[in-house]
Amino acid sequence: MGQPPWGTHNLQSLQQPQFHSSFSVSTEVFPINLHKPSSSSSPDCFFCAADGVCMLTLRMDETRSLSGSEQKSIQHGPNQDEASGAADASSPAPETNGLSAAQQDVLERCLHALTHAKNDSQVLAALLLITRLCPANQLDRVTLHRVFEAVGFNLPARLLVTAIRGSESSGLPPEELLSLGTALLAALSTDPDMATHPQLLSTIPLLLGLLEGGAPVSQKRAQRDTTASQTTEKTHAGAASHHTSKSTSGKEAPTSPSGLGDGDEAVQPPTTALDEAVASDCYQVLNSLCALPRGPDQLLSRGAVPALCRAVSQKHTLSREKGLPLLAHLLSSSVRHRAWNKHPSELLSLLDGISQNFSQTSDPNRLEMCAQIPQFLPPTGGEPQTQELRDVVGRLWATLRPVVQGRLGSEQLGHVLVLSACLLDLCGWDPAGPPKFCCLLVNRACVEVRMALEEPPGTKLSAQQQHTVTACYRILESAMEQACNMEDSPAQPEVTIAGLSLQQSRQVLGVLEEAFSAIIYYLQQVDLSRCDDPFVFATFRALCAWLAEETSCLKEEIMALLPFLIGYTKHHLQVKKGKGLADWMLKMAVTDGSQAGTWTGEHVLRYLLPALCHLSAEEGPRKVLLSLDTPAILVDFLAHGWGVLKTRSGKTVNRDPSLETACSALLNFVVTEPERVRTDACFASLDTLLSEALPSLLHKSRLLVLTANFCTLGLMINRLKPTLTGLGNSSQQLFYSSALRFLRGALQAAEGEGQLQVSPLWAPWWEEACELWRLSLQALGGCVNTQPWIATIIREEGWLQNILSLLESSCGLPDPHSQEALEEALCAIAQKCSFCRQDITIYMKRETADSLHCMPQLRKVLLS
């Protein structure tokens, strides 16, 4: 006969088997070289020694009643049968799943034979008949399940174990056992339910061990190969003796995730390169599993990453063609962070090898690799960068620089810009190259943005264009950070991280301004019906990054765009969790839920908050923001954030800078728009929130900056309230008591009679909180002026006595601004409360050179 029908080269379902030895196939008699199992056989090996060879014959029970046409359909296959049927004048019989009625009947009989098989030999024979009759693409899912229920995963698993352990009691050599076992697994794995079956999952370490360590060979073949190798060595004695150790025929299988214990290593056979058909079947199983929702987790937990990395590094069979794409899929899934945390050395070694290939390959292949490399880069924000990683990134940049400087097509340039953006995310500008190259890269990204976004309204960008432009946004953001830092510190114009001079940074800002002008133009054309478009979100995010750093440019255009920005934010805040863009983000996430919170509409507001903080400080934009009811959005955001924080304690409390930024924006409104604060209901809600939150925040030391923001914001709002002659309510009294306790803890006396020092609790946060502390003292003085009853609390809480004692024991405060703010508060207290005035006067009359005597305005108030 021709080539046997058990194929392992391209299995899509239960495929026609193709052994690599000479099997004869007949519709009546099928000889298979399997020994009969012995009663005393070892349970570790499913094929055991026996006397003679079992010639399995499927006779009358399976085939005796087949008609001539039925047997012909088995021999010729369904396609030939259909062809002959078409030539026949009679009408063809109805077909089921591509089979004629006669073929379907034969299939049912074969399935019956398979179901009632009494041993492995009969199972294999029935399988061969089925695959001879029905190609894989004509087996429906129900039939495939029937085959699985009859065969199960136990048989292919035992085939693999027998081959790997190299038992000589098997009737087949290991390479043919592997061919049969992997072909069965590959066929069954094409069904999603079977791909996640526990028995199939238990074979994954075996398959990985084969891909990593090679295929076991029989003792006879090993001896034959060893003899041939020795003959060659004698012929070429001394010419290349060091290559002898690299011979694959006599090499011990390396340690692998095959699941075999140390005790089995002594009986493992020698290994050779894995046959391509077997390797293809192994990768078929792994790919089928990886494509399922939980597949990447299953592969990671079974050691797929290190095994595949070693297979690629050792250039094993199909490792480049199929192993690398499989690793790319794994590292692009939700297990990416865990894979890098669990196997950093193996993945970094893999990336190092890829970078070396990248530097050595020809230009056309190099451009293709630009599209593949980002998948193998480690995630940002993970473990601290190692020198090895920096060396790899430096090698990638060295290869990439001439590519960026060359002439590229649109698609090729897109891949280059995406890789550049990923490298910038990973290690910043330091390894990128000289300033001239950095400027060129930024310029190319800006040009690409303008070309894509300055098209006439209604022009739709392709998916590839959107991908490229999104990468350009990241390059723009990174360049903007460097250029703006250079502008903020002109005293050191020589270098920044990227090595930009002041002149170069201004040139970069110029091209950035043109690119962001195109971004504004694009967003002006976007209808709110497209709010859930991921590319619109990426464009919105890029503009927010620009506004966070630079608002003096394009001011009129930005003011005109504010209604869209606020409307876009409101839309996402109102969308229910798991809907719209949030649903897309969840599907596309490459981080585990345990490592990063679920994306919600609040993230849109978080990106916009720094811009709102800047814009609310300018009169024109602030008026627009007020007309859009922006303060209410910020108050709701604060309320939700506090609702989350108050349920946490100890180490579970984490600082949220976005809440502090929202407080800063609200503070701008409170300071500059007093009438709006007095009449807008959202500020009344804010006052209630602050009164509730401040007492609890006193016990959360990690949130000291947020506490300072709440304290300052609350005092600033209270100073705008109408004058009250009597005592405030209990909530107000509790708020002021908490504020005084908080402000009192900032300073402490120094040893001797030196300046007051910042307390240890405040010291780590003083740079961020000192201005808020001063504003709080000034606001406290304003509250005393409008609410005189507060002076009583100031005295009863001991705040005044504590401050006077500190001033008496020191020669000054940490800085002049703090001394001015404290003096302003003491002046207001002395003017409104006679008892407090007397207490201050007593300290002032003491003839000591202390801080209190360095307050001339307070002295004037006491003398008036």
> Residue range 273-288: average pLDDT?
94
What's the average model confidence in pLDDT over 303-330? 95
Q: Which of 627, 626, 716 is nearest to 664 (CA)?
A: 716
Strand-pairing partners, residue 747, are: 758
What number is the average pLDDT over the span 189-193? 86
Higher pLDDT, 137 or 672: 672
Q: Answer with the residue of higher pLDDT: 318 or 807.
A: 318
**How confident is the model over 1-14, as pLDDT tens digits?**
333 333 333 323 33
pLDDT tens sequence across 585-632: 776 665 444 444 577 888 999 999 999 999 999 999 999 999 999 999
Give the pLDDT mean for 334-361: 94
Instruction: Match 């002006």 to its residue by tokens.
Output: 524
Which of the pair, 36 or 283, is modelled with greater confidence? 283
Per-residue pLDDT tens over the stretch 371-398: 999 999 999 876 778 899 999 999 999 9
pLDDT in tens, 71-101: 343 334 333 333 333 334 333 444 456 677 8
Give the mean pLDDT of 715-734: 87
Q: Are strands 757-758 and 747-748 parallel, antiparallel or unpaired?
A: antiparallel
pLDDT greater than 80 at residue 29 = no
Task: Residue 829: name the closest of 796, 782, 864 by CA.
Answer: 782
Kindly tell me the burial class for residue 600, based on how many C-beta atoms sit within 10 Å of its own C-beta (0-12, 13-18, 19 or more): buried
Query: In sequence order, what are the beta bridge partners of 96?
Result: 99
- Asked if 354 contacts 376 with a C-beta cutoff of 8 angstroms, the reply is yes
What is the C-alpha separation between 823 and 777, in angstroms, rounded?
A: 9
Residue 211: is its pLDDT beyond 70?
A: yes
CA nearest neighbour of 52 among 38, 37, 35, 39? 35
Percentage of the chain beyond pLDDT 70 is 76
pLDDT average, residue stretch 817-822:
91
> What average pLDDT does the segment 357-367 reach?
90
Q: Summarize the confidence of residues 825-843 as an average pLDDT.
A: 91
Compute and round to an integer the Cα radius of gyration of the chain. 38
Indicate left, alpha or beta for 752 from its phi (over 0: left) and psi (-120 to 50: alpha).
left
Interior angle at CA 573, CA 569 and CA 576, nearest 5:
140
Q: Is 544 within 8 Å of 610 (Cβ atoms)?
A: yes
Count Cβ neighbours within 10 Å for each residue of 447-473 and write b for 16 or more, e otherwise.
ebbbebbebeeeeeeeeebbbbbbbbb
Q: Please write down the long-range contacts of 399-404, taking CB distance under 8 Å and 24 or more positions apart.
A: 399/355, 399/358, 399/359, 399/366, 400/370, 401/433, 401/437, 403/363, 403/366, 403/367, 403/370, 404/437, 404/440, 404/441, 404/444
256 vs 675 pLDDT, higher one:
675
Q: Cα-flanking dihedrals φ and ψ of residue 747, to 5°?
A: -120, 155
The model's pLDDT over 427-476, given as tens digits with 9 standing for 90+, comes to: 989 899 998 999 999 999 999 999 999 988 888 999 999 999 999 999 99
* pLDDT (0 to 100) of residue 233: 47
